[in-house]
Amino acid sequence: MPSTRPSGTGPITLVAGSARLDAAGGVGPWADVCRGQGLQAKMITLEEAFTPAHRGVFVVVLAADESDAAVYQLADRAQESLHPGVVLVPPELRRIGAMLAAEGMVVLPWDAEPAQIAWSVRALSARQATVQRLRDELKISQLSVNGAYGEMARLQEEMQTAASIQRAHMPRKMPDLNGVEVGVVYRPATYVSGDIYDIAQLDEHRSAFFIADAVGHGVPAALMTMIIACGLHKLDGVGADARVVPPAEALFRLNNAMTEHTGGSSRFATAVYGVFDARSGEVTLAGAGHPPPIIVRQGGKSIDRIEPEGPLLGVFAGADFGQTTVKLDPGDLMILFSDGFEVAFPKDGSEGDDFKRPTLTYLHKLSHAGDGGVPLAEAVAGIERELDGASGSLHQPDDITALFVAPTGAAVEAS
């Protein structure tokens, strides 16, 4: 018959108990049991169990009338310290024993076989090195996670600052324009946008409307919009002697500025620039590879697509841009928009990559916005509702921007 007595020098065993055990002989009998099984037993108080002052495997002996508060404090210290321990409970504390076992502690009855106690102590001692290693690794992981959270918070703050800077290059509110009303839909896909727009009163009669879309998304595209915003010259000179730069010339100069700044990189952009003259009701448009603006004629009588010819911005230095002039009558609505609208309304049932495929639904949505002769603000709100209701609107794949230009037919003479 093999011996049931564990062999070899055992770990230091700290046998803990309270004064409530005095009637049962204190912790001495259990310390003797441990020594009899080859363990080096040392007696301590219950309050000292699972504290940093002692190292080893704790054998805690609970008295039959041990207070709940003392037991709960013991359990808290055990969980916090991760020290190994065996808790011996009398029959009266069977419920408390079940609670401690649920917390991951080894719970044995008072009258457990000495060999069972010894084997439990040795097993806990043997695994403690692994527990300590895992605890150290967890601490390192927590430090890494905290560092990652800190880095993410810093990046989020930087992106919010970048978004604020970008918005500073666009109108904070709609300017008061002579003879024309303007509405805007602007929805970046992320913190910052590859789309940019501008609206300005050039002189007492003429207003300018500009929309551009830098290739790509996120920070690189947003930085490109800064170059675009700084490179667009709408006026030469200041005051009464200022000259309104024609749209084709403005894009020509902007393109040269971009090709100079991009230094031969593959960064480019599309754009449409228009100048509206309230005296004649005519708008002159120049384009650079951008989706053609549409004009919804007086309550939806017809839909015109205006396609000014011009290459992409930032590709060929010295490239020429064409321009075209069209008449806008009261009740007409001109819409300039970015290509984000092409993927804003996916087909029903689209999944995966199909979700990002362009559709022509946007043409119907945009043209329908102005075909009822409704006020401009209502037309813009209608498009906003359509975008909100589209599939995937919470995770739009591209930046979305549109300018709605409606002539009022009431040009105000400068005083």
pLDDT (tens digit per residue) in 137-155:
988 998 888 888 888 888 8
Regarding whether 348 and 229 lie in a shared domain, the answer is yes
On whether residue 151 sits in a domain, the answer given is no
Regarding whether 364 and 278 lie in a shared domain, the answer is yes
Q: Where are the beta strands (DSSP E) in 237-383?
A: 243-244, 269-277, 282-288, 294-297, 302-305, 323-327, 333-337
Residue 1: pLDDT band by 50, 70, 90 thresholds?
Answer: very low
CA dist., res. 190 & res. 167, Å (int): 13
Regarding whether 378 and 325 lie in a shared domain, the answer is yes
The larger pLDDT score, comparing residue 35 to residue 391, is at: 35
The pLDDT of residue 287? 95
Regarding whether 99 and 209 lie in a shared domain, the answer is no
What is the SS3 assignment for 404? strand
Cβ-in-10-Å burial (0-12, 13-18, 19+) of 226 comes to: middle
Regarding whether 393 and 347 lie in a shared domain, the answer is yes
* Residue 3 scores a pLDDT above 60: no
Regarding whether 187 and 91 lie in a shared domain, the answer is no
Q: Are 255 and 288 in contact (CB under 8 A)?
A: yes
Residue 353: pLDDT band by 50, 70, 90 thresholds?
Answer: low
Q: Are 175 and 231 in contact (CB under 8 A)?
A: no
On whether residue 367 sits in a domain, the answer given is yes
Here the CATH number for the domain that contains residue 290 is 3.60.40.10
Last residue of a domain, one of 135, 156, 186: 135
What is the SS3 assignment for 260? helix
Instruction: Tell whether pTM > 0.85.
Output: no
CA dist., res. 301 & res. 167, Å (int): 36
Regarding whether 310 and 211 lie in a shared domain, the answer is yes
CA dist., res. 222 & res. 376, Å (int): 29
Instruction: Report phi then psi at 366, rounded to 5.
Output: -70, -45
On whether residue 7 sits in a domain, the answer given is no
Query: What is the total count of domains within the chain?
Result: 2
CA dist., res. 106 & res. 122, Å (int): 12
Regarding whether 258 and 369 lie in a shared domain, the answer is yes
CA dist., res. 194 & res. 221, Å (int): 5
- Structural domain harbouring 303: 169-407
Read off the pLDDT of each residue in 312-316 and give the average, rounded to a whole number.
91
* Residue 340 scores a pLDDT above 80: yes
On whether residue 158 sits in a domain, the answer given is no
Q: Poorest-confidence range of 31-45, 123-137, 227-241, 357-371?
A: 357-371
Regarding whether 398 and 252 lie in a shared domain, the answer is yes
Regarding whether 392 and 325 lie in a shared domain, the answer is yes
